[in-house]
Chain A
Amino acid sequence: MSHDTGKDIKKYYDSENRLAVSISETLSDNVQVLTDIFNNCGDVVQKSFVLERKGKPGRIHIIYIDGLTNNQMIESTILKPLLYEWRGSTESDLKDAIFYLEAQTVDISEEKSFDNAVASVLKGDTAIFVDGYNTAFIVSSKKLPLRSISDNDKEGATRGPQDSFNEGIRSSTALIRRRIRDPKLKVEQGTIGERSRSDYALMYLEDVVMDGLVDEIKARFDKYDIDAIFDSGMVEHLLEESRYSPFPVFQSTTRPDKAASAITEGRVVIVVDNSPEVIIAPSNLNMLLQSSDDYYNRWTVATFARIIRYVAAFIAIAAPGFYIAAATYHTEMMPEKLLYAIAAARSAVTCPVIVEVLLMEFFFELLREAGLRLPGNMGNTIGVVGGLIVGQSAVEAGLVSTIVVIVVALTAIASFALPNEEFASVFRLLKFFIIITSALLGLYGFVLGLIIVAIHLAGLTSFGIPYMMPAVGGSINSMDGLKDYVLRAPLKDMKKRPFWADDNEKVRLKKKR
C-alpha cells in the first residue's frame, strides 16, 4: 500500500478537514470514498451485502470500527433481520423498509451528510449505506473501552456519594441525569476539534440557568478551530477570557453530585468525552473552596471546615513569606525564646533564610511531582521517605533549619486542605511570588504582594460574575450569598438560589402548606 493515497484523499476534504463529498445514490461511489478515506485503517470493518428482495435485490454497505462497536448487537439487530428474516420481502421502498420494519433497534437515524456519517462511525456507531438512496443509516452501537464507574479518590468527602465520572460522555451525563430527573434538564451536544471530533455536552436546567449563559458558552466554543481536544482542561483554557490569570474561572470536578448541585444553582456543566472531569461555569473563589460534604454535614461542622479551609488558603500563600519577612527584617516581632531558638537553629545553616525556604519549597514540589508520577504504593512511599529521611538529613547536614522544615510542611498541609486541586496549585505558585516580595521588602513587600494578588482577583470575572463574590458585589443579592460563604447557614435558611439564577426560579426551598 502506498502512502501516496494520503495525497489523493485530500480531494475529498475541505479546508476545515471535513468531508466535502455528498452521499451518492450509487453505492459503489460511496464504497469507493469509504475505501479511500479508510485506507490503511486495519480496525475499520466494512462489507457490502446483497439483500434478497422480491423483484430487484437490494444492496447495502455496512461500516464500523472494530473495538468501538458492539458488533454482536449489529449482527443480531441489523444483519440477521435484513439478510435473513426479511429476505424475500415485497416492500418497494427499501430505505423505508429498513428504517421502519426491518432494523430491530430504536436508536437508528437517517443521515444525509457523508461527513457526519463517517464521524458517527468513528465514534463507535455503525453506518449503513443503501444503494439507490443518497442517505445513510446510523445505528447506535457503541461499545467503547471504558473504565467502570469507580470510587472517587481525587475529591474525597467524609459523607455523600463516592462515585465519580469516567471518560465516557454518556455515562457521565447518565450519572447527572440520575440525580436530576427533570425533563427541563437539557443536554445539548456538540463536537469540538477538527481531528479529534470530541463530543461535548452542555447540561443545564432550562428554567433555572443564568440568562444568556448557554449562548455565551456556545459562542465561545465556536470562536476557535482547534485540532484536537483530549481533556476538559483544554476546553477550559479555550473558553476562558483571561488567559494569563493563574486562577481557574471554571470549576472542575469528578463528583457527579457536585455537578448536579451546580446545575440546580443555575450553572452549566460541560461534559467532554474522554475526560473524567467535567467543568462548571460560572465559578468563583468561594465555590472553589467548597466541598460537597459541606452540604451533607451539619452546618456547624461545615462552617468549621470552611473556616479551616479559608485559613489554610491564607497559610498556603502567606506563611513562608511571612516567616522570611519576620526572620530577616523584623526579628523584634518574635518573642525572645523563639528568636533565640531560631538563631540557634540557624547557626549551623550556611545559606540565608530566603535560600533555605526556596530550597525546601523546591524540594517539596519535587517530592510532590515524583509522588504523582510513581504508581500506587511507591508514590505514597516516596512521600514518607522524602519527608522524613531526606528532610531530616537536610537539617543535619546544615542545609536548612528545623523551623523552615516546619514552615514548609505547614504550608504543604495547608495547600492539601483545599478541595480543588487545580485551585490549590495556584496557591502553591503564588506563594513563591509572596516569598520573593517578602524577601526583597519584608512586611512591606509581603503586604504589597498580597495587594497585587487582590488587585488581580478584584478584576477577575467568570462569565460576568465577580470572582470574589460574595465578598464583593454581594449587595446585588442583598448579601444573601453570605449564607453560603465562610459560614454556611442551616439548610432550611438557604431558600434562594444564587443571584445569577433565572429571576423566576430564585426560590429553591419553601415550606409545603
Chain B
Amino acid sequence: MFTDNHEISGRQIRRMGILENIPVLIVFAPFVCTAYGTGILSLIAGLVLVFIYVLIMKKYGECFKKQGVSYSADSSSFTALINIIRYSVRIGFLSFVFARAIKSFLMYGISESVLLITLIVVCFYGSFGDMERRGRLMELLFMWMIIPLVIAGIIGIFNLDWSSLSINTIAQDFTNRDTYAGACLLLCTASTSEFVLFLSERPAGTKKNIMMIIFVSLFSCALGYLVIVGTLGMAWVSEDIISGLNVMEAVTNNIRGIRRIDYLVLTFFIVGIFAVISGHFFREKGFMENLMARVGRVKKDSRKTHIVCLSLVFILAMASGFFFKSMDTPYQIFAYYMLFLDLPLSLIMPLYMIIKKKKSHVVKYAVMFMVISLSLGTLSGCNSAYTSVENRDFASSLTLSCSETGSVIYEFTIDDLSEYGGNPGDKIGEITTYIDAESMEDAQKKYKEDNENALDVGHLSEIIIKTDEEKIPDIIMEHIYPLRNNPVITKSVKVIFPGGEEVLLRDLIKENSD
C-alpha cells in the first residue's frame, strides 16, 4: 500500500543474485571440471566464460531496461513458450539432482520421490507473489545459507591438501582439449546465471550490484572448488555430480566435540537450493503469464490467470523432475541439452528481441561471445573421444577369441609408429595387445586406461574369429553385430571365420538383421 512498488532494493538484488548462483556453482563446478576437464585450468577457463556470459546477460537486461520492456512480460508467444520449456527442464533436473543429494547425504531412508515432490512443492510455493515479495524472502534467507557455508569454507581452507589440486599439471593442461571441454560444461552449468538478465532490467539492477553478484559468485565458486577438490581429491569428486557434498562432512569433522555438524550445514544449504529452484519457478511463472495473456487472451493480473499459470508451471516441473529420475543417464542427457540447446537459446532469444526493437552494441558482444564459445567448443570437442592423431594407436586387425572362462578376448594388432619418422625406409612394427572386453567400446576404454594413447579402430582391415564352431553365433551377435552402430568402422571390413571363409561385415550384419 505505502511501500508496495513491486520493486526491489540493491541489497535485495545482491542477496538474491548471490543466493541463486552459489549453490549451483559450488556443487556442479568441481564435478564438471574434474570429470570432464583437467581441474584448475578448466575451472579458470570456465569462470572466464561464465564471466563473459553473465556480462552478456547484464547487457541484455540493460538493453531491455533502456527500451522499457521486460524480457518475460513482453517477449513473443514463441519465445515465452520456449522459455517455459527451458525452465521446466532446468527445474526438473535441478530438483532431481538435489533430491538425490539430500537422499545421499541427509535422508537416506526416505524415498527419492518423496524428497523430489516436497522440494518442488516448497520451491513452487516460494515463487508466489511479486518481485518485491521475492526480494524480501531472499534478503531474509540469505544469512541462513551463507553463514554456515562461510564457516565450513574457512575451516576447509585451513585443512586443504594442496597436492590434490594437481596444480603442477597446469602447464600441460593448456594443450589438453579436456581443459576446454570442462570449461564449456562449467559454462553450461552456470547458465542458470541467466537470471542476471532479469535483475539488470530492474531499476536497482545497477552495474555495481550486478558486478558484485558476479564477483562474489565466481570467487565462491573458485573457493568452493579449492576446498572440495583440495579436501576430497579429483578422483572422488569426479565420480558423481554430488560427490562434492561429501566435503561438508570431511571439513566439519575437524571440529572436535561436536558430531555431524555437516548435517546442519547441509540443512541450511537446502535454503540455497530452494532459492535456485524457486527462482526458476518465479521466472517461468512470468513467461507463463505472458503466454496465457497472449494466447488465452486473458487479463495478466487476474486471479484466475495466476492460478492457471501456477498450476501449469507446477505440473510441468513435476513431469520434468520425474522424467530425469526415470532416465538411466540423466546427467548426459542434460549436459547435451544444455550445451546444444539451452545455452545457445539463452543467448539468441533475448538478442533477437533486442534486435527487433533496436540494434545495439550488445549484438557485437553477443556475437563475439558466441563465436568464442563455439570455437572453444569445437576445439575442445566436448566429446573427449576426439583425440589428436599423435595420441592414437591404430589397430590394423582384430582377432576375437574366447578365454577359458568364457569371456571374449580382443586381440588388436597395432601398428607401432615409434620408429617411424615419415621417411622412406622407416619401419613400422606391430604390437599385439590383448584386452578382455565385452564390446568394442569397452575394449577401447580399457585400452585408454592402460595406455597413454587412445585406440583408433577406424583402419581395421579385418576381423578374425578364432573360436569353436558353437561359440561363433554368440560372438557374432554380441560383438560383431553391434559394430553396425559404430560409424568409425567401415562396413567393408572382412570378417574371417575359423575355416577361412570371408564375409564382408556389411553382409554379415545384413544376414543377422534378417
A residues contacting B by CB (< 8 A) are 210-213, 216, 329-330, 332-335, 441-448, 451-452, 454-455, 457-459, 461, 463-466, 468, 471-476, 500
The reply to whether B136 and A472 form a contact with Cβ atoms under 8 Å apart is: yes
The reply to whether B260 and A333 form a contact with Cβ atoms under 8 Å apart is: yes
Shortest Cβ distance from A163 into chain B, in angstroms? 33
Residues of A with C-beta under 8 A to B481: none
The reply to whether A464 and B1 form a contact with Cβ atoms under 8 Å apart is: yes
Residues of B with C-beta under 8 A to A474: 11
B140 interfacial by beta-carbon distance below 8 Å: yes
Contact of B129 among A329, A333, A459 (CB under 8 A): A459
> Main SS of the interface on chain A?
helix
Kindly identify, within residues 129 to 185 of chain B, every residue whose CB is under 8 Å from any CB belonging to chain A.
Answer: 129, 133-137, 139-141
Between A and B, 9 residue pairs with Cβ closer than 8 Å are A332-B259, A334-B259, A444-B102, A444-B106, A447-B271, A451-B141, A454-B141, A455-B137, A466-B3
* Number of residues of chain B lying within 8 A (CB) of chain A: 42
Contact of A451 among B1, B2, B264, B274 (CB under 8 A): B274
B122 interfacial by beta-carbon distance below 8 Å: yes
Contact of B107 among A329, A451, A500 (CB under 8 A): A329
Shortest Cβ distance from B170 into chain A, in angstroms? 39
The reply to whether B3 and A452 form a contact with Cβ atoms under 8 Å apart is: no
The reply to whether B136 and A216 form a contact with Cβ atoms under 8 Å apart is: no
The reply to whether A330 and B1 form a contact with Cβ atoms under 8 Å apart is: no
B110 interfacial by beta-carbon distance below 8 Å: yes
The reply to whether B271 and A461 form a contact with Cβ atoms under 8 Å apart is: no
Shortest Cβ distance from A137 into chain B, in angstroms? 42
Kindly identify, within residues 78 to 105 of chain B, every residue whose CB is under 8 Å from any CB belonging to chain A.
Answer: 102
Kindly identify, within residues 1 to 40 of chain B, every residue whose CB is under 8 Å from any CB belonging to chain A.
Answer: 1-4, 9-12
Contact of B259 among A335, A447, A461 (CB under 8 A): A335
> Main SS of the interface on chain B?
helix
Known: A216-B1, A475-B9, A476-B3. A448 touches B122 (CB 8 A): yes
The reply to whether A443 and B267 form a contact with Cβ atoms under 8 Å apart is: yes
Shortest Cβ distance from A377 into chain B, in angstroms? 44
The reply to whether A461 and B4 form a contact with Cβ atoms under 8 Å apart is: yes
The reply to whether A475 and B10 form a contact with Cβ atoms under 8 Å apart is: yes
Residues of B with C-beta under 8 A to A461: 1, 3-4
The reply to whether B137 and A454 form a contact with Cβ atoms under 8 Å apart is: yes
B270 interfacial by beta-carbon distance below 8 Å: yes
The reply to whether B2 and A458 form a contact with Cβ atoms under 8 Å apart is: no
Known: A448-B122, A451-B274. A473 touches B3 (CB 8 A): yes
The reply to whether A443 and B106 form a contact with Cβ atoms under 8 Å apart is: yes
Shortest Cβ distance from B488 into chain A, in angstroms? 47
The reply to whether A444 and B259 form a contact with Cβ atoms under 8 Å apart is: no
Closest chain A residue, CB of each to CB of B4 = A464
The reply to whether B136 and A458 form a contact with Cβ atoms under 8 Å apart is: yes
- Extra inter-chain contacts (17) besides given A442-B107, A476-B3, CB under 8 Å: A210-B2, A212-B1, A212-B2, A213-B2, A333-B260, A441-B118, A443-B263, A443-B267, A444-B106, A444-B270, A451-B122, A455-B137, A459-B129, A461-B3, A464-B4, A473-B3, A473-B9
Shortest Cβ distance from B444 into chain A, in angstroms? 42
Closest chain B residue, CB of each to CB of A216 = B1
The reply to whether A329 and B109 form a contact with Cβ atoms under 8 Å apart is: yes
The reply to whether B3 and A451 form a contact with Cβ atoms under 8 Å apart is: no
Contact of A459 among B109, B136, B270 (CB under 8 A): B136
B365 interfacial by beta-carbon distance below 8 Å: no
Residues of B with C-beta under 8 A to A459: 128-129, 133, 136-137
Closest chain B residue, CB of each to CB of A466 = B136
Contact of A333 among B9, B114, B259 (CB under 8 A): B259
- The distance in angstroms between the C-alpha atoms of A457 and B125, with both chains bound, is 13
Residues of B with C-beta under 8 A to A475: 9-12
The reply to whether B267 and A444 form a contact with Cβ atoms under 8 Å apart is: yes
Contact of B2 among A454, A471, A500 (CB under 8 A): A500
The reply to whether B140 and A472 form a contact with Cβ atoms under 8 Å apart is: yes
Residues of B with C-beta under 8 A to A333: 259-260, 263
Residues of B with C-beta under 8 A to A444: 102, 106-107, 110, 115, 118, 267, 270
The reply to whether B136 and A330 form a contact with Cβ atoms under 8 Å apart is: no
Task: Specify which of A216, A457, A459 lies most central, judged by the most chain B CB atoms within 10 Å of its CB.
Answer: A459
The reply to whether B2 and A468 form a contact with Cβ atoms under 8 Å apart is: no
The reply to whether B260 and A332 form a contact with Cβ atoms under 8 Å apart is: yes
The reply to whether A472 and B260 form a contact with Cβ atoms under 8 Å apart is: no
Shortest Cβ distance from B9 into chain A, in angstroms? 5
Closest chain B residue, CB of each to CB of A328 = B109
Shortest Cβ distance from A140 into chain B, in angstroms? 37
B126 interfacial by beta-carbon distance below 8 Å: yes
B53 interfacial by beta-carbon distance below 8 Å: no
Shortest Cβ distance from A472 into chain B, in angstroms? 4
The reply to whether B271 and A451 form a contact with Cβ atoms under 8 Å apart is: yes
